[in-house]
Amino acid sequence: MKKIFFLAAIITATAFTTVMAQPPAGGGRGFDPAAMKARQIQQLKNSDLKLTDEQADSVVSINMEMMMQMRGMRDLSQDERLSKMKELNEARMKRWASALKDEDLAKKVADYYEKQRQQRMQQGGRGFGGGQN
């Protein structure tokens, strides 16, 4: 009986240690929306778009709002999700054009995000945000 108990304790300890050795999702950093927003603002400002601080902040804020709305679409059917995505992308373009006060600049921002999405897809990451479909 002692051998069985001892063997069970070793298996449990080994399994627990293996589970604890796995890093948390995201490489152990956790999700920090403020850091993500700051990084995206900096990327927009450093891009060929030459956005001001205020413009970049507006674009990223709109993106984050849209991303939150998209999270609620997980339970929809594929057709419903595609329809809703199209609506959200159109709304995003209108909000960008309004915030940037320039429809052509809003299209350039959309193109920028589409290029970013394509690069992530080529690197094996998930594509999301910004681009028009």
* pLDDT single digits (tens) 27-58: 555 678 888 889 989 988 888 988 889 999 99
- Residue 81 DSSP symbol: H
Predicted pLDDT at 130: 44
Q: What are phi and psi of 101, to 5 degrees?
A: 60, 30
pLDDT digits (tens, 9 = 90+) for 68-116: 888 888 888 989 989 999 999 999 999 999 999 999 999 999 999 999 8
Domain map of the chain by residue range?
32-122
Provide DSSP, 71-98.
HTTTTS-HHHHHHHHHHHHHHHHHHHHH
